[in-house]
Structure 1
Amino acid sequence: MAVVLLLLAGCGSGSGSDSTTATDAGAAAGPAHEGGNAAPEERQGGTGAATDTRVDQRSIIYTGSLQVKVDDVAAAARRAAATATRAGGFVGADQRRSSDADAVAELQLRVPADRFYAVVEELADLGVQQQREINTQDVTEESIDLDARITSQRARVESARRLLERASSISDLVTLENELGRREADLASLEAKKRRLTDLTALSAVTVTLVGPDASIAEEKNEIGFLVGLRGGWKVFLTSMTVLLTVLGAVLPWLLVLGVPLGVLWWLRRRHGKRRPEATPVAPLVTTPPPAAAPPPEGGAPTPVPHTRSSS
């Protein structure tokens, strides 16, 4: 068990990086030479091999966009789709607006990289070209790095599988199965990135916008001046009034249902308050002094007067 875990630690120490450990390198050497397929590392790097810098050997992603004014947007869209199909590509997306003279159609085309510029020229000939933008991204180094990492990760997966076959206990089996699953997941992620990169380099993306004769998307973009500002302000004013009237229309039913009864109740309450009689003022209390003591009868004792405590 200790030997297996030691080998596993040596194999897994470099699983998150591009370098390969001695154990994984030895495991990768066997399958690579047995199948006669050890060329990837020899072609991609090393002291005796240099990366091919020719344009036709590099991985380049082409993306382009152009805007063309045409007389018939629907017919021009069909021709654009046919151009992509003839070049070996396809239509990835198709968005259209109305069918009048101000119609607009936007097509996203995927065409082979070697036919990219030819397709762009054919699309520009559909009418009057108004805009064109072409971008390129060289991903040669990224592609080579992915190839090296995939080869290294495959070697790690094979190494973990061989260790799994020699597992002698349940704990070793569980540990090696978890490690193998993690390595296979990393390999699948790298292969998915490679497929995505290959798809972007093999099929270039071209976005063509076809506008009718009355559409003026490109012409109004850079207009400045007093009249342009006045036209923009008038549009904003109309939009604001439309929003205000919309809100008023939404609130008006609630005002009729709740506002009218509440207004009537308020008016009745105010009218009832005006008719209420004024309160009669209360006269102040007048305290009378206590009666004086009656004189005592002759020969008798005086009549006592009850003593009252005055409140302060």
Structure 2
Amino acid sequence: MFKKIGFMLILFVLLLAGCSGGMSQDDSSKMSSEGDMNSSADMENASDDIAFSESEEDNAVAGEKSKAEQKADLEANESADQRMVIYNAEMDIRVENFEKARNLLEQKAKAYKGYIVQSDSNRFDGEQQSGTMTFRIPQEHFNAFLNDAEGLSVQVNHRAVSGQDVTEEYVDLESRLKSKKAVEARLLDFMQQAQKTDDLLKISSDLADVQEQIEQIAGRKKFLENQTALSTVTITLQENEVTVPKIENDSLNTWQKIKKQFADNINILLSAGSWIIVFLIGNFPILLIVGAVVAGGIYFLRKKASRGQNNNVDSNS
């Protein structure tokens, strides 16, 4: 009896152990499958995060590129607006009245904050006037002044406009000036720290050279600024209308003309007599010698002729 009960207990324990082992395997498989699912989900989430971060990075890069391009375009537009160009213009025009046109051009130049550099005029045959004027006009009023000058004319014979872009040279001068000033600052620091006389002399010499170069660069830079700020306009004016001389109302009468003619003749005679007297007195020594020679020659010829006549008379007798 006890053996059967013991056998049943052993069998029950074995069955219980087998069930527990199967359950543990099922649990482990479930746990492993759940772990795999969790890991795959984590990987998917990670990949999604990576993809999202990459898309964000791409968007950021694209945004930066667009901003950079916009900035470059803006700088290009600003540089185009700030280009430094030296403008010169030449005009040859005909006007109805020279003096009036010249005065109007001077007034226009003053109104545009410009000034006249050179002006000359001349008159042909005592009637027609012509001349040349050179103006310095602010660049923003350059075209307006040319149009005003053309509006004063009755005919435009010649108009030429030229420009010289000096932007690159100006930028280079600014860069060189900045570099030279940095060198100057370093040399000044070295001079303060130098203790030997030789070092001070060497630094002073280098500093003088650098400062001279700075003055030259600054002078050239200022010249370009002035040339670009003010444009040069040269205008040649030619008068178109002919001035007719006025008829004199106060003409001389006949008696006045006679007196004038008589006085003119008296003046001519007095002038001739004065010239003769001056000639005779001034050349008296020479005339005396010449007169003596001529008189001696005449006397000799007459004496010779008289001797010839006497000889002929003697031969006839």
Q: TM-score, normalised by structure 1?
A: 0.51
| Distance in 2 between residues matched to 1:101 and 1:68, nearest whole Å | 18
| Distance in 1 between residues matched to 2:239 and 2:95, nearest whole Å | 5
Deviations 1:35-67, CA, capped at 9 Å, x for gaps: xxxxxxxxxxxxx89963554221111110101
Is residue 188 of structure 1 aligned with residue 212 of structure 2? no
Residue equivalent to 1:131: 158
Residue equivalent to 2:229: 202
Shift of 1:83: 0.8
| Distance in 2 between residues matched to 1:98 and 1:167, nearest whole Å | 71
Residue equivalent to 1:105: 131
- Contact 1:52–1:58, Cα closer than 8 Å, also in 2: no
Is residue 164 of structure 1 aligned with residue 191 of structure 2? yes
Shift of 1:101: 3.8
| Distance in 1 between residues matched to 2:132 and 2:190, nearest whole Å | 55
Residue equivalent to 1:52: 76
Is residue 115 of structure 1 aligned with residue 150 of structure 2? no
| Distance in 2 between residues matched to 1:87 and 1:52, nearest whole Å | 30
Deviations 1:256-277, CA, capped at 9 Å, x for gaps: xxxxxxxxxxxxxxxxxxxxxx
| Distance in 2 between residues matched to 1:167 and 1:184, nearest whole Å | 19
Q: TM-score, normalised by structure 2?
A: 0.51
Percent identity reads 24
| Distance in 2 between residues matched to 1:49 and 1:123, nearest whole Å | 38
- Contact 1:63–1:136, Cα closer than 8 Å, also in 2: yes
Residue equivalent to 2:92: 67
Task: Identify, as 1 or 2, the structure richer in helix.
Answer: 2
- Contact 1:92–1:108, Cα closer than 8 Å, also in 2: yes
Is residue 175 of structure 1 aligned with residue 199 of structure 2? no
SS in 2 for 1:168: coil
| Distance in 1 between residues matched to 2:222 and 2:107, nearest whole Å | 27
SS in 2 for 1:127: coil
Give 1 or 2 for the bigger CA radius of gyration. 2
**What is the aligned residue count?**
189
Residue equivalent to 1:245: none
* Larger displacement relative to structure 2 (95-104 or 159-168): 95-104
Correspondence 1:207-218 to 2 at 5 A: 207-213=234-240
| Distance in 2 between residues matched to 1:62 and 1:152, nearest whole Å | 30
- Contact 2:97–2:241, Cα closer than 8 Å, also in 1: no
| Distance in 1 between residues matched to 2:109 and 2:220, nearest whole Å | 26
| Distance in 2 between residues matched to 1:88 and 1:146, nearest whole Å | 28
Residue equivalent to 2:110: 85
2:132 alignment partner AA? E
- Contact 1:77–1:105, Cα closer than 8 Å, also in 2: no
1:56 alignment partner AA? D
| Distance in 2 between residues matched to 1:62 and 1:136, nearest whole Å | 4
2:109 alignment partner AA? A
| Distance in 2 between residues matched to 1:121 and 1:50, nearest whole Å | 32
SS in 1 for 2:200: helix
| Distance in 2 between residues matched to 1:161 and 1:168, nearest whole Å | 13
| Distance in 2 between residues matched to 1:120 and 1:196, nearest whole Å | 24
Shift of 1:174: 1.2
**Shift in alpha-carbon separation, 1:49–1:70, aligned structure 2, 3 A:** closer
| Distance in 2 between residues matched to 1:51 and 1:68, nearest whole Å | 42
